[in-house]
Amino acid sequence: MAKLKFYYLHCYTSEESAAQPFQPGDELELKIVIDGNAKTYKRNKMWDGRRWDLSHIEADYKNNIEVILTDLDNPRLGDQHDLLGKMTIGTNQVNGAFVFNGHGASYELRWGPA
Ligand SMILES: [Ca+2]
Ligand SMILES: [Ca+2]
């Protein structure tokens, strides 16, 4: 077993421009899959310089944690969600960071020992 806690997700560059009227920044879906069990967290209005505090999320895991970050859009209007990236944390990586940079975005996730 390994144990970690997430610290934050920091936005360096959002996928959608904060300057776009009616669409300020990203609508994020953060999916955390702990040994195959998925939990989903959402946060609207993330843009350059904003930080999402994740310090309430701890994980005990046996094999791995998969993290999938998506900017939600509007598929019903033909605007598909944008996958910003996915990554896997193994049991030997209880301290680390990862940058999601799909679709020109840049978000850094940090985590450490719980
Ligand atoms: Ca969006
Ligand atoms: Ca988008």
Q: Would 113 be classed as within a structural domain?
A: no
Range of the domain at 77: 2-107
Q: With 0.85 as the threshold, say if the pTM is over it.
A: yes
Q: Would 83 be classed as within a structural domain?
A: yes
**In the structure encoding, which two tokens stand for residue 108, read together?**
């850094």
3-state secondary structure of 19: coil
Give the model's pLDDT for residue 23.
62
Q: Using a CB cutoff of 5 Å, list residues around ligand 1, an ion.
A: 27, 71, 73
Gap from CA of 101 to ligand 1 centroid (Å): 15
- The pLDDT tens digits for 37-89 are 999 999 999 999 999 999 999 999 999 999 999 999 999 999 999 999 999 99
CATH (domain of 49): 2.60.40
Gap from CA of 47 to ligand 1 centroid (Å): 11
pLDDT exceeds cutoff 80 at 26: yes
Gap from CA of 113 to ligand 1 centroid (Å): 32
Q: Would 114 be classed as within a structural domain?
A: no
Gap from CA of 16 to ligand 2 centroid (Å): 6
Number of domains in the chain: 1
Measure the CA–CA gap between 44 and 86, rounded to whole angstroms: 19
